[in-house]
Structure 1
């Protein structure tokens, strides 16, 4: 089951998002501020994070910056939800590494579509990484016996001479 962390300080908005995600078979964890959200993200390593921008403790930009600087959480897809709809705000979020930026009010369809897009992109990246890792393993497996045999050839040749 896909795990999603929702970091939202407004209780009614958070409850609506949780209800929507749970109805669509996601395992959901919630936080009401940025600091607690970072702690949950590092402990639970969710598959995706949905985060408000304007919150107490740490704002969404600070949350994203902290998560992107941690190797364990830096590749988790991150979607901003915010009432800040200016082009500068959107650019700031994207420059920090956000994967999507939805402005409030948003529809259930918009949120679910953004989540599906980010999760499918993450899955494609994982599959590509696994394919490259398998290729590397194969190359090492085929090259290693030859590399070990080269020094043995000189040892065998020297022993035959003796």
Structure 2
């Protein structure tokens, strides 16, 4: 089974996304903040990381910076899930090494397809 780490400060989104992914056959780890998410990523080395951008404390940009700088997590596909639809933010995310960028509210099939593409 492939493991997905969800880093999302919104409890409802985090739990709903986790349930959807578990029903699709993924093992799910989750964190409600960037610092804990980084620790989970280093300790568990998930197959894919889903991360919000706007979070208190460490935002999603800092999360990807730290994970891409760490040899243990640098190659893990990283997908942003965010409410922002600014083209400049999408470009920044991709320039920082994100594999994908999904806008909330997201289409479940689109998310699962993107994750499957990452783990194949």
Task: Give 1:57 deviation, angstroms.
Answer: 1.7
Higher CA-based Rg: 1
Cα deviation code 1:116-159 (max 9, x no counterpart): 11112xxxxxxxxxxxxxxxxxxxxxxxxxxxxxxxxxxxxxxx
Q: Which runs of 4+ in 1 moved over 2 A?
A: none
User: Shift of residue 98 of structure 1?
Assistant: 0.1
Q: Which residue of 1 aligns with 2:83?
A: 83
Deviation per CA, 1:32-85: give whole Å up to 9, x if none: 000100000001111110000101121001000000000000000000000111
CA distance in 2, matches of 1:4, 1:81: 13
Q: For residue 13 of structure 2, give the secondary structure of its aligned residue in structure 1.
A: helix
Shift of 1:109: 0.6
1:100 aligns with 2:100: yes
Number of residues of Structure 1 aligned to a counterpart in Structure 2: 120
Query: What secondary structure is seen at the aligned counterpart in 1 of 2:88?
Result: helix
In structure 2, the residue corresponding to 1:53 is in which secondary structure? coil
1:49 aligned onto 2:60: no
Looking at secondary structure, tell me which structure has more strand per residue. Answer: 2
Aligned positions of 1:5-44 closer than 5 A: 5-44=5-44
Give the distance between the partners of 1:9 and 1:38, measured in 2 at CA: 14
* Structure number having the greater helix percentage: 1
Give the structure-2-normalised TM-score. 0.98
Name structure 1 gaps, 5 residues minimum: 121-162
2:115 is the counterpart of 1:112: no
Take 1:48 and 1:60, find their aligned partners in 2: how far apart are those partners?
A: 15
* 5+ residue gaps, structure 2: none
SS in 2 for 1:4: strand
Counterparts of 1:20 and 1:92, CA distance in 2: 28
- How many Å apart are 1:110 and its aligned residue? 1.1
Larger RCO, structure (CA 8 Å, separation 6 or more): 2
> Contact between 2:18 and 2:28, CA under 8 Å: does it hold in 1?
yes
